[in-house]
Amino acid sequence: MGPDPSVVQWLKEAGIAKSPSSESVKKVMQEVLDREREEEERRLLNGLPIWIKNELEPGVAALTSHLQLMVAKVHEQTQQAENRSREEAEGWIRLRDRQIGRLEEQLVDQGDQLEKCTQDLEEAIRRAEEYAVEVEELRMKNIELKSANSALERAFQTLSMSPSA
């Protein structure tokens, strides 16, 4: 079931579309319905006696004014609520950004500390290797000294036992 042919014809005549979309048809149909409703209201009001119209007119005007004020107030409150929500969201974003900044700084600091610890560890390993070499050299010297001491003791014993002594 397609759009009403009279609406399609009206759209074509108005130059709105050659083959209107369903949205444009809905929009035009709503406008037509709104106009028909307004005409029906005018017809009903025109059918009322003048004294009823005169009685209703101030109330309708006051009601219209009151409704316009309410719409304006709702619009203002909506804007204020949107602004508050936006400001609150921006505040949370700023807070989050500051926290992220602090975490980034901590991460950089920890990276620097890790790099220093790595350097200290490398230096400690280098020293330990140097000490290990020194210990090995000292052990070798100790073996040489013990060997020399043993040789001297044997020579001393040999000399002390010799008959010429």
pLDDT at 162: 72
Q: Provide the 10 A C-beta neighbour count for residue 25.
A: 19
Q: What is the pLDDT of residue 94?
A: 96
Cβ 17 vs Cβ 11: under 8 Å? yes
The percent of residues above 70 in pLDDT, for the chain, comes to: 88
- Whether residue 158 is predicted with pLDDT greater than 70 in this model: the reply is yes
Predicted confidence (pLDDT) at residue 5 exceeds the cutoff of 70: no
d(CA 67, CA 73): 10
- State the pLDDT at residue 123: 96
125: Cα separation from own chain's centroid: 44
Give the pLDDT band (50/70/90) at residue 17: low
pLDDT interval class at 99 (50, 70, 90): very high
**8 A C-beta contact, residue 29 and residue 6:** no
- Specify the length of the chain in residues: 165
